[in-house]
Chain A
Amino acid sequence: MRSYSWRTFALEFVMLAVTVAFAFPLYVLVNLSLRDPRDTASAASLTTSPTGRNYADAWQQAGLGGAIANSALVTIASVVVIVLVSSLAAYPLARVTSAWSRAVFLLVMLGLLLPFQLALLPLYQTIRDLHLLGTPWALVLFYSGLQVPFATFLYVGFLRALPREYEEAALIDGATQFQAFRSIVFPLLRPITGTVVILNAVLVWNDFLTPLLYLSGSTQQTIPVAIFGFLGQYVSQWELVFAGLVIGSLPILFVYFAMQRHIIKGFAGGLKG
């Protein structure tokens, strides 16, 4: 059945209908965010005279500018640290076959079994004692440690399949091991680094529970926390809330649609293990 038969056509029609139904909530989201609050038509019927006022109001009242800046800071800083420390750690874990290397690898993999809820509360106390509560750095610290096991796991898997000849040539030429890693190995890790960046950026950007705890009572917020507070405050003014939701989603959706091919591949590739 290589040709485009009537069956394929029927399937195409069904899949289009399914996708339209799937995307319907997103249509309502944008539709309602553009509506004048006095317009009482159903949320699903197309807004006849769209207004941008909700966006201006939401931007001012929800403090979304500061939240986006914080989320961006936390996401970028965490992802940079995760990539650097995990790729570095994966190198000896993948290349050295001695007993200590295997023991450390198993210890790190233990982290894949521990849900972060267990560490969250005892760590809350430590972070409070360090006077980091309410600062974005508490989050950067948390994610950087939390994601070491998964990122290291991905890097080790990739490195084991990577030939050693290149780094060995560099070592023969007199490079130190760190130089060989930095200028030979790390660039070769690029495909898996892409996956690590994508998976962790989405996770950090979207996380809600950690900033809810570690930033509570401060003026610092990330997008999920700001949206949650905004929802609680204006719960009856849905047009306003929806404008806030759109603003809060735009950064990640923009990145997603710009890089969808890489992002979908990153999700699928990383999880094949």
Chain B
Amino acid sequence: MSAHTSTRPPVQASAADPPSPAPRRPRRNQLWFFLVPAVALYTFVVLVPSGRGALLAFTDWDGLSPDRAWIGFDNFTAILDDADARAAVGQTLLVAVAITIVQNAVGLLLALGVNARIKSRNVLRVFLFAPAVMTPVVVGALWKNLLAPDGAVNWALDGIGLSSLKQDWLGDPDVAIWSVVGVVVWQFAGYSMVIFLAGLQGIPQDVYEAAEVDGAGPVRRFRHVIFPLLAPATTINLMLSIIGGLKLFDQVWVMTGGGPGHSSETLSTLIYKDAFQFGEFAYSIALAVILTIFVAIISSGQYWLLRRQEESSR
């Protein structure tokens, strides 16, 4: 329709705003057309394949042949019976929690540091955030060298007199996954820092000053005044890092390939291996469904928390 066909003068309506959509409605109904490209793409790429995935998890599909049989929960019980898969699921949860705690603790300390009145704070910010934009594959390859038995990390430990801490960081099954966790924290601590920093900068100056006048020391000021005001930034940071941790793939794949043995396997490396190395498509999709459930629980929990914070701050 062209704009000329609508003769109603909307002047009074807009003068009477806010929301009085009644006179505008005939016009705005044409707007659904704007949704078509996005909804079509989203349906084709996300909704339909995800829905099909959720169904295929209950079949014995091998990824190639057109015929498949409905096998109920067999894939899921097979996962429960598979010690390697169980270990990978447990390890993924553990790793996600570890990354979340360490990355945010480091990120918060860095944010407090560069939010202080130091002269170099702008430069430091730029360097501390830089790893977060780098390609995880590049970061993984770099650290694969640094963490080698004769790499720079062991060299540095020798240099500062801590030779007893030297390890085969990626070759020891007990250590490998934690080395990967360390690399992820190194890469993304700056990311957490930036979000905490945005939170810190949103706190009005007089709040700090009032707490100071009241005689609160730096630790008490942080615990009782600053940290509660950082709640939204904390929630977002926790969610981002835990979901990122649950999906962890690139760094593991580059640095250890899930090894030695299966010691550093995560849900995502297992999904990839089962589907593309062993042809167990349906089994692999069942693992992806488990991942989805974890991610969905955490995302909705986060959404609920943020909503509650927003309501209580009003």
Contact = CB atoms under 8 A, between A and B. Distances in A.
A177 B30 contact: yes
A56 interface: no
A122 B285 contact: yes
A253 B4 contact: no
Contacts of A175: 3
A114 B198 contact: no
A272 B198 contact: yes
B63 interface: yes
Interface in A70-121: 81, 84-86, 88-89, 91-93, 95-98, 100, 104, 107-108, 110-121
Q: Using C-beta atoms within 8 Å of the partner chain, give the interface range for chain B.
A: 35 or more
Interface stretch (A47-55, A189-197, A221-229): A221-229
Nearest to B145: A238
A28 interface: yes
A176 B41 contact: no
A119 B125 contact: no
B83 interface: no
Nearest to B143: A25
Contact of A114 (B25, B46, B249): B46
B45 A141 contact: yes
Nearest to B51: A122
A165 B124 CA distance: 42
A115 to B, nearest CB: 5
Contacts of B268: 117, 209
Contacts of B292: 113-115, 117-118
* Residue of A122, A174, A245 with most partner-chain B CB within 10 A: A122
Contacts of A273: 236, 306
B232 A272 contact: yes
Q: Using C-beta atoms within 8 Å of the partner chain, give the interface range for chain A.
A: 35 or more
A273 B198 CA distance: 12
Contacts of A86: 38
Contacts of A96: 21, 28-29, 31-32
Interface stretch (B69-77, B149-157, B162-170): B149-157
Given A172-B11, A209-B268, A252-B134, A18 B31 contact: no
A137 interface: no
Given A92-B32, A271-B236, A11 B113 contact: yes
B271 interface: yes
A92 B28 contact: yes
Interface stretch (B52-60, B93-101, B173-181): B52-60
Interface in B283-314: 284-285, 288-289, 291-292, 295-296, 299-300, 306
Contacts of A248: 135, 138
Contacts of B254: 228, 231
A233 interface: no
A208 interface: yes
B250 A8 contact: no
Contact of B46 (A18, A111, A121, A257): A111
A269 interface: yes
A181 B144 CA distance: 50
A144 B45 contact: yes
B199 to A, nearest CB: 8
Contacts of A22: 127-128, 131, 186
A227 B137 contact: yes
Contacts of B136: 206, 208, 224
B141 interface: yes
Given A43-B151, A172-B10, A272-B232, A224 B135 contact: yes
B114 A115 contact: no
B41 A85 contact: yes
Nearest to A8: B117
A12 B194 contact: no
A116 B31 CA distance: 29
B67 interface: no
Contact of A205 (B125, B135, B155): B135
Given A8-B118, A92-B32, A208 B46 contact: no
Interface in B100-138: 110, 113-114, 116-121, 124-138
A181 to B, nearest CB: 7
Interface of B: 2-4, 9-11, 14, 17, 19, 21, 25, 27-32, 34-35, 37-39, 41-50, 52-54, 56, 63, 110, 113-114, 116-121, 124-138, 141-146, 151-152, 155-156, 186, 191, 194-195, 197-198, 212, 232-233, 236, 240, 243, 246-247, 249-250, 253-254, 268, 271-272, 275-276, 281, 284-285, 288-289, 291-292, 295-296, 299-300, 306
5 contacts: A18-B113, A104-B35, A117-B268, A145-B46, A165-B14
